Chain A
Amino acid sequence: MEAEIDLNKQPQPFFIFQRLFLEQPRIFYNFKIDQGFKFILKRLFIKAPEKVEIFTDNWKDEYHSAEPVKIEFLDNAKNKTRQAEPYPINLISSPNSANVTQYFASHTLLTEKKINFSASSVKKSSLLDYEYVNGDVIQIRITGTPIPPYFIIHNYIAIDLVLQGYYTFDEKAMV
């Protein structure tokens, strides 16, 4: 049963976006909730490449991901964890990795993390309905396989993460 957003509590839709770089098998992302508000996390949209293409003027390399990236909400501050084990992202969210390619822009930009993603579409995402109280922290751990180091600098995949939710008025925080 989905928690209804009460319009009388002045909800403010808030989309949190972060581009993460999986350079090691395990990375973390933290987002701190503003003081004075609750945050209701409704859904998660995550995108990771199933194919990475690296160009130079004369040749092209492709890497195909062997296994899906997994995501876990840790939320260590609570007494119990949100989930027992990490979920593969393609089981809880779109666009996940379906037909998603990551392009490194050019070999002339080796020193920058300048990349592009193929356009995907948002189709479905399972409902989370996680509630974070005033001042809480959304803690996420992402696990996966970085690409083999064709170039020393290009040994990562990028992951786009959107958390869709609402800031709502928190009476307890306004005392």
Chain B
Amino acid sequence: MIYNAQQLRQNQLTQYADKILIEDTVPANTEKLGKASISSLGHFLSLFITGHFTCSKSITDSISNVSIIDDGISHLRGQLVDGTGNRKLFSDYIPLDMFLSPGRIKSSTNVNNYATVLDGSTTAVIATVADKSDSLFLPMEFKYIFAINTEILFYVKNDSNTPVSYAITFHGFRLMDKKTTIVHKY
């Protein structure tokens, strides 16, 4: 194969691998908009998405101790929107564990010492202790071009009684458009 140095250099100047991260904490029983700017660097061609979230819940035992535990329940639902024209990319709010890998992770704010939390109480406060995190299995295919200067909007609802955090990453390429991007020449 014969390479054209000028063409290769031109490609290198106008596209490179990039990742865009949205990371946020959603307050209890509410909805919050997480967003990321595509910026003026160039268009962003997304190829895959990955993400994780925590499963937190606040409980109060019979002697009024309040603890935030990892209850293993999927509390977050999200709606992904392309800021250009407010184009919805999901039909509805989707539970995050249905499309994100690795999915659930532990949170540093969680207490999982149940003997202390329950303190001898006979009240059945919590159902299960699901305490594992998963490793990355399946980056979800997501081929889409987010245009220059737009924003990726991710509306997330939290049905837990305590704040829950998440992060979602778009893996892809930055594509610079000659018409819209100034490529610096040194």
Interface residues in chain A, defined as those with a beta carbon under 8 Å from any beta carbon in chain B: 5, 7, 11-18, 31, 42-43, 45, 47, 53, 55, 59-60, 94-95, 99, 101, 103, 116-125, 160, 162, 164, 166
Interface residues in chain B, defined as those with a beta carbon under 8 Å from any beta carbon in chain A: 45, 53, 55, 72-75, 80, 87, 89-95, 97-104, 124, 127-128, 130, 134, 137-138, 140-145, 159
Q: Which of the residues A11, A101, A120, A164 comes within 8 Å of B97, measured between beta carbons?
A: A120
Interface of A is mostly: strand
* Separation of A11 and B145 alpha carbons in the complex (Å): 9
- Nearest 3 CB-CB pairs, A to B? A121-B103, A119-B74, A123-B137
Are B128 and A164 interface neighbours, CB within 8 A? no
Q: Which of the residues B94, B127, B140, B143 comes within 8 Å of A53, measured between beta carbons?
A: B127
Q: Which of the residues B53, B55, B90, B98 comes within 8 Å of A160, measured between beta carbons?
A: B98
Q: Which residues of the other chain, A, contact B72 by a CB distance below 8 angstroms?
A: 118-119
Q: Which residues of the other chain, A, contact B144 by a CB distance below 8 angstroms?
A: 11-13
Q: Which of the residues A5, A16, A101, A160 comes within 8 Å of B91, measured between beta carbons?
A: A16
Are B101 and A13 interface neighbours, CB within 8 A? no
- Of the A-B pairs whose beta carbons lie under 8 Å apart in the complex, a sample of 27, sorted by A's number, is A11-B143, A12-B87, A12-B144, A13-B141, A13-B142, A15-B89, A17-B95, A18-B91, A18-B92, A31-B91, A42-B141, A55-B124, A60-B127, A101-B128, A103-B127, A116-B73, A116-B75, A118-B73, A119-B97, A119-B104, A120-B97, A121-B100, A121-B102, A121-B137, A122-B103, A122-B138, A164-B99
